[in-house]
């Protein structure tokens, strides 16, 4: 009997594709690595191989910092979208928030509020409900969440990575400079909350309270 052979990268790529197909949506990278019985840091090479195999096909691979998903390839996305994908109109406010999260990366609500100059509670709630952004714990501050783009958002935009966005490096650098440069010592978030957790009109607020609407800050 021939000795068992170890899985080659292409074999693992095929297995990864099968797991993603069965999942039918986005899958945590950590979970996929576990199903493939590999260390998480090995997964990126497997996904690179799978991306190469999808070249010229109707499906592609979409990756965020934490998730991976099969999606319609950008070359045919407009055709599929016009026939099947529901309208995801989110208005100007939603587009602004999405742009911040896409170009700046994972952001807290207070950071988004500071960049936009308004309270973005209702907009964030809408984007969460439509599956365009996800909320994750913030390892730097347990009082706030981080908001990240979902694989569904990237698929809707016809992208496989956020780095494929137009002028990504330039805009990302500009947003980072704006939100961490000429503001306050804590990144310019004081216009929305003082040291006691009150906003400028004296009411107590929580950074991730999604009950209110988008209002101009004082």
pLDDT tens-digit map of 30-84: 999 999 999 888 999 999 999 999 988 888 899 988 899 988 888 887 776 665 4
C-alpha 150 chain-centroid distance: 4
Report the C-alpha gap between 70 and 173 in whole angstroms: 29
- Please check whether residue 1 lies inside any domain of the structure: no
Structure tokens at 20: 């993603």
Q: Are residues 122 and 212 in the same domain?
A: yes
pLDDT score at 73? 84
Q: Are residues 155 and 184 in the same domain?
A: yes
Q: Are residues 118 and 174 in the same domain?
A: yes
pLDDT score at 31? 94
Q: Are residues 92 and 172 in the same domain?
A: yes
User: Which of the pair, 3 or 143, is modelled with greater confidence?
Assistant: 143
- Please check whether residue 3 lies inside any domain of the structure: no
DSSP state of 204: B
Report the C-alpha gap between 189 and 113 in whole angstroms: 8
Report the C-alpha gap between 184 and 85 in whole angstroms: 42
| Lowest pLDDT segment from 86-90, 124-128, 187-191 | 187-191
Q: Are residues 154 and 208 in the same domain?
A: yes
The position carrying tokens 């107590």 is 204
| pTM of the predicted structure, to 2 decimals | 0.52
Q: Are residues 137 and 97 in the same domain?
A: yes
What are the distances in angstroms from CA 74 to CA 30, 42, 52, 80, 113?
26, 26, 15, 10, 31
Residue 20, pLDDT above cutoff 70: yes
Residue 102, pLDDT above cutoff 90: yes
pLDDT score at 89? 67
- Please check whether residue 2 lies inside any domain of the structure: no
Residue percentage of the chain with pLDDT more than 70: 73
Q: Are residues 61 and 102 in the same domain?
A: no
| Lowest pLDDT segment from 21-35, 77-91, 203-217 | 203-217
Q: Are residues 58 and 144 in the same domain?
A: no
pLDDT score at 81? 65
Q: What is the pLDDT of residues 138-176, one digit of tens each?
A: 998 888 999 999 988 888 888 888 898 998 899 988 888
Q: Domain containing 13: what range?
A: 9-81
Contacts of residue 209, defined as CB under 8 A and 6 or more positions apart, other chains included, come to: 121
pLDDT score at 192? 39
- Please check whether residue 4 lies inside any domain of the structure: no
- Please check whether residue 34 lies inside any domain of the structure: yes
- Please check whether residue 128 lies inside any domain of the structure: yes
Report the C-alpha gap between 13 and 176 in whole angstroms: 35
Average pLDDT, the chain: 77
């Amino acid at each position: 009997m021939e000795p068992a052979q170890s899985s080659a990268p292409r074999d693992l790529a095929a297995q990864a594709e099968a797991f993603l197909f069965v999942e039918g949506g986005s899958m945590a990278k950590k979970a996929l690595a576990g199903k493939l019985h590999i260390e998480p840091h090995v997964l990126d090479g497997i996904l690179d191989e799978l991306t190469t195999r999808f070249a010229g096909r109707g499906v592609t691979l979409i990756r965020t910092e934490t998730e991976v998903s099969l999606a319609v390839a950008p070359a045919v996305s407009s055709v599929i979208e016009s026939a099947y994908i529901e309208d995801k109109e989110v208005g100007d406010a939603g587009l602004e928030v999405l742009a911040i999260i896409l170009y700046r990366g994972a952001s807290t609500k207070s950071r988004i509020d500071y960049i936009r100059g308004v309270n973005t509670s209702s907009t964030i709630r809408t984007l969460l409900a439509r599956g365009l952004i996800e909320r994750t714990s913030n390892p730097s501050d347990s009082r706030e969440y981080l908001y990240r783009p979902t694989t569904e958002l990237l698929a809707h935009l016809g992208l496989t990575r956020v780095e494929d966005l137009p002028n990504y490096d330039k805009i990302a650098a500009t947003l980072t400079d704006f939100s961490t440069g000429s503001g306050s010592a804590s990144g310019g978030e004081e216009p929305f909350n003082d040291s006691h957790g009150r906003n400028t009109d004296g009411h107590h607020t929580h950074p991730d309270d999604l009950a209110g609407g988008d209002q101009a800050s004082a």
